[in-house]
Amino acid sequence: MTEIFTQRVRALIAAIPPGKVLSYGIIASRAGNRNGARQVARILHSSSQKFALPWHRVINKSGRISLPQNKGYALQKQLLQAEGVQFDERDRIDLEQYLWRDNDNF
């Protein structure tokens, strides 16, 4: 398997356990390109549907949903809440609690 950035990104996203989230930047970094956050967004656009990726588990570095209100912000929030992720009164997620750190270590 050729290690293409896109493929790694897809694998990473697909591996996020329910109730956990990852930021675009972290995914990009883990996939080998710390500056590829924007590509991750694009990949989500082009592959989230055809690869059935848990796109809702991807948020930005601030712990907030990045989707525009008119693009599914509410849906993503809903899906996350359904997995037990809690939002504060400002719609932020506590990364310390929900950010997916590998599989173990801490």
Partner DNA sequence: CTCGTGACTCCCG
Partner DNA sequence: TCGGGAGCCACGA
CB 100 within 8 A of CB 26: no
The first and second tokens of residue 54, run together, are 């848990």
Site membership for DNA, residue 42 (CB under 7 A)? yes
Q: Which is nearer to DNA, 40 or 104 (CB)?
A: 40
- Read off φ and ψ for residue 22, nearest 5 degrees: -140, 150
Select from 16, 21, 55, 98 the one that contacts DNA (CB under 7 A). Answer: 55
- Contacting positions for DNA (CB under 7 A): 4-6, 23-26, 33, 35-46, 48, 55-56, 58, 60-62, 66-68, 71, 76, 90, 92
